[in-house]
Structure 1
Amino acid sequence: MMMDLSGLQDADVGDDDVDFSPATNKSVDGRRMSSENGGSSEGVKLEKTITLLNGITIIVGSIIGSGIFISPVTVLSNSGSTGISVIVWAACGLLSLAGALCYAELGTSIKKSGGDFTYIKMAFGAVPGFMYLWVTMMVSLPCQQAIVSLTFADYVSLPFFTEKECPPPAELRGMLAAFCMVTLTLINGISVRWATRVQDVFTLGKVLALILIIIMGTIELAKGTTSSFENSFNTVPGLSMSASGMAQAMYGGLFAYGGWNFLNFLTEELQNPIRNLPLAILIGLPVVTIIYVLANISYLAVLSPQEMLISDAVALAFGEKTLGVASVIIPISVAMSTFGGVNGLLLASSRLNFSGARDENLPQMLGMIHVEQRTPLPALMFTCLVSLMYLFVSDIGQLLNYFSFVTWTSIGISISGMLYMRWSEPDLDRPIKIPWILPVLFVFVCVFLVVFGAIGQPVDTLIGFAISLSGIPIYFIGIYWENKPAWMLNFIDSTTVLLQRTLMVVPQNLKQD
């Protein structure tokens, strides 16, 4: 059987239809996967429930997180002037749009979920694909989920504690962060529609909060408060302008735009992806860019550059100065923003694990679907459990530094793969084919960011590179080694069937029309 890449249909599968017998095709763990293990003849598949609006809110909601509310200071402090900082925000938006358009070509040519894993594996083979899968599923995305969940916890508890004099207890932060993850995992496990509704609502909330900031900033500008923009391209006292500083400013800006490729992880669940994927990108990225640029102008309309530079949370300082007692809206908005951000990360990371298992690069269980809800429940649970473990790590921020190069390396390799496949597979159906200058330009940007990051953080980069290479022995043990002993295969078989019966999940039907 082959996977249906064009149309996913509902299937009526009851408990009596489900066969939990051991299997017959090779999977990553060395056991055999049954071609008929999916239940009824109609099959169990992911449903195409993600609309164009859902796609836009996934992109916008995944990009807009805590960064725009908390620390645009990085861009200002490294760009050296208020005028250059605003230009950097706009330039990062345009670069992100260029990268997203490259992914629109990839997503409409390769209509499989999994994002970079799928693209890297198809272009360059199994080992590079697995190395990306390994480091992303075990460290990069779970760490980001843990950090964003902790930010959610901080801002939920902020109205009840004085941040410096009486900060929230660490136990409370951990409980709130865990509550955020577990709640969203349950919602995603129950229904993809519920998950996309959460994304829609919380994206609307965070956008409205930013619109409020933009309105308040516009009012200040109308009053004539323009001191931050007088001689705006002159260096701010105490700052300097340099090539390395500009690179750091661009790095910080592009980090704030991160998440524009998350919709590619859900291609198979997107209705009419050939139309809706590029449309969602062409609508979502410009919306975020306009909001980011106007929000930063509003910050500077209310706060002086010096006030911004000494603030740990620019949005809070902005709210206290403009909203008075109503400034509590800001921490609520940040909490909503991070809650939606965790939901977007969970959607992307669970589909990555699901796709890896379905392509026989992870244990078969992670590629199974709940027989009634049609959601990748095991992949969601695994993602949640790994992310929960990182709540106990004392310095997740530095751990993420080790893997900051992974994001830009994988994006650069994926887009390089797109260029390579134009030569190696010229007959591949490409409903969208963007001008070659855009992918070439973006690959150069990725190389620049990776090289600059390695120069600026050589130890962290080497550690991250070493951990990435640890995926190689995992690959050879888990995938390349086919002749595993019988006792190991029997143990895997019995454990898989037990988990299937417990969670009521089966492999996706891979039938093709």
Structure 2
Amino acid sequence: MKKNELKKEVSGITALTVLVGTVIGAGIFFKPTAVYGASGAPGLGLLAWFVAGIITMAGGLTVAEIGTIYPQTGGMMIYLEKVYGRWLGFLVGWAQMIIYYPANVAALTIIFATQFVNLFALSDNIIVPIAIITAILLMGINFLGTKYSGRIQTAATILKLIPILVIIVAGLLYPGGGVVRLIPLSVESHPVLTSFGSALVATLFAYDGWINVGTLAGEMKSPGKMLPKVIIGGLLIVMTVYVLINIAYLFVLDSTQLAGTDTPAALVASYLFDGIGSKLVTIGILISVFGGINGYIISGLRVPYALATQKMLPFSNWFAKVNAKTNLPINGGLVILGIAILMILTGQFNQLTDLIVFVIWIFITLTFIAVIILRKTQPNIERPYKVPLYPIIPLVAIIGGLYIVINTLIVQPENAFIGIFLTLIGIPVYLYCKKKYGIPEKE
């Protein structure tokens, strides 16, 4: 094995828990506020959760095909590079390194710190310090090795499902609840198309993270067989959980109440359980968010490494170093941690999450299109897995992705501009590295 290669130490269970544990993080507990605030009605909000699940499932089924063709460390960065050229592969890796992963870590640690402060009735002034300490702590645990971070991920994934299942069962049995609380579909004060689009963007943050399991493909023992099973199985679990828990929420509170609180899951728990029961659910939420942060760090560490091994970053030799004891690329993690801390200092959870969704879905949509391009340009390439019902499922994924991107451009142009600007900063970086290292545009 070469000095700077990563070992194939990621099992199917670890990969599955990374996917489920990363996706089911903070969004399901906090995004109902934005979803029902944007939709204005329970029916449209619930529809957004369901449609987001369909888009995500179609996307997962589609990406699994290209993921088994190119099962290398780097995930989406590798897919886009192989199909469109190194410049686009670099740009997605750049966007993930300076926006996507740091912003996810920042947003989730802010949520973790906020819940921690609320649970122990502490001062809001220490939210930012707690968030920073949490980010440093989890990055440090990941630096100890995949074995330790994987164990945390597995434990957190199992433990986080407990409060979710408790809320689902208790909510569905709540006196006075029922399907009548899931209507109306819409209200006159909220235009259906734009309201649905904004609600969809909010739900897709809750579904976000599934594609990151592709960054671990190079460390999987049998990626061709394992990756599709992990993506499809994990997303089925996530979609089922999300739809059921939102029905449970609406059985307890109406959409106006959910839209009017910053902590919808905790408020629902306070109605369902007295005193200690509500606190136990909040502790479960903290564990869930903790696992979500850990999942993003596990995936995020590999992106600067993947860029650096292809000489696509300044100081590539430094970024590509693998720690001899832990077999991990630690230096890229330090950069992601530094950017995340700067973002934590802004304290803007919702702006960060909307920014994440917009930027990453530009590249995810291009990945869906890449599957169709490969079917035409390389029909004979080995495909251990093929997306079913081709081309219908890829087209569903593409249409969903385009809707998300275009709606954000219309409804949130400021966020869109920030995301595009930060991504395009990567172009001069790429040109500099291309000149310095003499990297070809294609292999």
TM-score by length of 2: 0.91
Match of 1:234 in 2: 184
The aligned amino acid for 1:46 is L
- Alignment partner of 1:182 out of 121, 136, 160: 136
Q: Deviations over 1:440-492 (max 9, x none)?
A: 22112111211111111223323332332221111122322458xxxxxxxxx
Give the distance between the partners of 2:182 and 2:342, measured in 1 at CA.
46
CA distances 1:321-370 after superposition (whole Å, capped 9, x unpaired): 11111211232122111111111111111111111111221212212211
SS of equivalent to 2:140: helix
Aligned to 1:268: 218
Q: Pick from 403, 409, 431: which aligns with 2:384?
A: 431
Q: Give the superposition deviation at 1:399.
A: 5.3
Secondary structure at the counterpart of residue 322 of structure 2: strand
Q: CA deviation at 1:186?
A: 2.1
Q: What is the aligned partner in structure 2 of residue 31 from structure 1?
A: none
User: Unpaired runs of 5+ in structure 1?
Assistant: 1-10, 12-37, 484-513
Distance 1:94 1:237 in 2: 24
Q: Which residue of 1 aligns with 2:35?
A: 75
Is contact 2:75–2:214 with CA below 8 Å preserved after alignment? yes
What is the aligned length?
Answer: 433
Structure 1 residues 204 and 379, CA, compared in 2 at 3 Å: closer, same or farther? same
Instruction: Say whether the 8 Å CA contact 2:305–2:332 is kept in structure 1.
Output: yes
Q: How does 1:392-407 map to 2 (within 5 A)?
A: 392-393=345-346, 395=348, 397-398=350-351, 401-402=354-355, 404-407=357-360
Residue from 136, 158, 169 that aligns with 1:215:
169
Cross-structure match for 2:203: 253
AA at the equivalent of 1:412: T
Is the 2:45–2:196 contact (alpha carbons within 8 Å) kept by the matching residues of 1?
no
Give the % identical residues: 26
The question of 1:384 aligning with 2:337 is answered yes
Query: Which of the two has greater helix per residue?
Result: 2
- State which of 262, 270, 289 in structure 2 corresponds to 1:320: 270
2:55 aligned with 1:95? yes
Q: What is the match of residue 373 of structure 1?
A: 326
Q: Which amino acid is 1:216 matched to? A: A
Question: In structure 1, what is the equivalent of residue 430 of structure 2?
Answer: 475
1:113 equivalent in alignment to 2:73: yes
Instruction: Work out which of the residue numbers 357, 360, 382 in structure 1 matches 2:308.
Output: 357
Tell me how far apart the structure 1 counterparts of residues 355 and 236 of structure 2 sit (CA, whole Å).
Answer: 30
* Partner in structure 2 of residue 123 of structure 1: 83
What's the CA shift for 1:395? 4.1
Q: What code does the residue aligned with 1:347 have?
A: I
How far 1:139 sits from its partner (Å)?
A: 2.1
Correspondent of 1:333 among 268, 284, 305: 284
Q: CA 1:370–1:481 in 2, change beyond 3 Å: closer, same or farther?
A: closer
Secondary structure of the equivalent of 1:355? helix
Shift of 1:394: 5.2
Query: 2:97 maps to which residue?
Result: 137
- 1:30-75 Cα deviation digits (max 9, x unpaired): xxxxxxxx5xxxx563222222211211111111111211231333
RMSD, matched Cα: 2.2
Give the corresponding residue for 2:245. Answer: 295
Residue 158 of structure 1 contacts residue 331 of structure 1 at CA under 8 Å; is this kept in 2? no
SS at match of 2:275: helix
Distance of 2:124 and 2:328 partners within structure 1: 35
Instruction: Provide, for residues 102-142 of structure 1, a one-character-per-residue CA deviation record: whole Å limited to 9, x for no partner.
Output: 12111110011112111111111122222222222112221
In structure 1, what residue type is equivalent to 2:298? L
Q: 1:73 to 1:463 in 2, by over 3 A?
A: closer
Q: Please give the secondary structure, in 2, of the residue aligned with 1:432.
A: coil
1:191 paired with 2:142, answer no
Distance in 1, matches of 2:106 and 2:8, equals 29
Is contact 2:39–2:186 with CA below 8 Å preserved after alignment? no
Query: Which residue matches 1:414?
Result: 367
Contact 1:188 1:380 in 2 (8 A): no
Distance in 1, Cα, partners of 2:373 & 2:104: 30
Secondary structure at 2:395 match in 1:
helix
SS of the aligned residue for 2:173 comes to helix
Residue in structure 2 matched with residue 457 of structure 1 by the alignment: 412
Flag the 1:322–1:226 CA change in 2: closer, same or farther, 3 A.
closer
Q: 2:124 aligns with which of 168, 187, 190?
A: 168
Q: In structure 1, what is the equivalent of residue 395 of structure 2?
A: 440
Gap runs ≥5 in structure 2: 439-443
- Superposed displacement of residue 396, structure 1: 6.3
In the alignment, the residues of structure 2 paired with residue 116 and residue 359 of structure 1 have an alpha-carbon distance, to the nearest angstrom, of 15
Distance 2:134 2:111 in 1: 11
Matched AA of 2:94: W
8 A contact 1:235–1:241 mirrored in 2: no
Could you tell me which residue of structure 2 aligns to residue 32 of structure 1? none
